[in-house]
Structure 1
Amino acid sequence: MPRESYQERLETLREDVLYMSEVVLERFRLGLNALEQKDEELAWEVIDGDDEVNQLYLDLEQDCIDLLALQQPVASDLRFIAASFKIITDLERVGDLATNLGEYSMDAERDVFPEVDIQDIGTAVVEMIEDAMVAYSEEDPEQCYAIAETDDVIDEQCEDASEAVVRDLIERQIDADSSETDIEQLMADVSRLLLTIRDIERVGDHAVNIAARTLYMVENDDDLIY
């Protein structure tokens, strides 16, 4: 295969990875909206859309394999293909976490802990993924380090949110009139919210993974890979 054609296919891979990120982020935003609005229709849209994300992942995985098999890549091309494969894996997992949000929203009938701002943290991790994909597209190492620093802030916010939920639960007084059903519902709400916080935090972790692979791709630097 002529080198020019090979380079064109590499660029197509980059564009397709960026497209996958747009699809995944749209699913995650819908998941956040479903959670906020307690909208079952939106929730099912997110859940049903996971098949599209999975198919994109499989198609791009095959593209990466084909590119490795077509022509022995030079070192920079090899790092690009390997990084792209790892990035689509992270994006597929973000898609799974979006599906989780859709499922959680099915049971989110009330705001039990309004002081915990899930939407604010969720918006921040979406921006992290967006920034990570810009770093990948523009091969920007400085942006990669900035994303890793932002993740420290997100981790702290998620820890504070989880502590607020647990503290509120401890401080609540369950009196003799509280039914077993009421107690079970409260515990279910607590569990759902803690899982939501955990999953949103994981999206931030995937953004760091994308930044780490991009940094390795651009500068052969594994400093952010852990």
Structure 2
Amino acid sequence: MTLSLFDQFESPVLFHIPLIVLAIALPWVLLPVPGPRWISNPLLAFQGWFIKQFTSQILLPLNTPGHKWALLFASLILFLLSINVLGLLPYTFTPTTQLSFNLGLAVPLWLATVIYGMRTQPTHALGHLLPEGTPTALIPVLVIIETISLFIRPIALGVRLTANLTAGHLLIQLISTATFVMLPIMPTVAIFTTTLLLLLTLLEIAVAMIQAYVFVLLLSLYLQENV
């Protein structure tokens, strides 16, 4: 029976229990928890330094009311980073390759920024639908276009994360399969493809980190328009 390359993106099931639940919960178990002692271990110190640097960078363009979202953004970046990188390990599953999972994150968070803007400053939030100085004849068209672009944002968030991670996993799968096939036939070419596979794996690790950061960064930009 020939399996499809996309079978690797199906959620595995063990004893009729979807293992995506374990994949989502595992990062929270692996992250170190601060203790009551003054002296911490290097991993905990690095985690604190990373959260501090990330929050200061992501909240820099935001107004003061938007700083209330710091805990949410820090938790989200740690969560996405963990599951993206852990998903590159052998015999693991990456939940962020599922469009439904990514949309389940993007839609509520985007909707929260829109509701927050409508609640605190509705005039400013609605003003984004019609740029200042627009000719009267173009007002209905621009309102429709801006409304569509507003509702496309969460879809773009989810599709961007899904497409980048899925493409990287597929390339790794294709090159690794080609390496095993060519190893007994053309060892020299197989060694070259192995080197290419190692470089691609490093690139995919960087992509997993960058896409997690881009997801949170775009969400903070959407929040910036509403605070």
Q: Which structure has more helix as a fraction of its residues?
A: 1
Structure-1-length-normalised TM-score: 0.32
Structure-2-length-normalised TM-score: 0.32
Which protein shows a greater Rg?
2
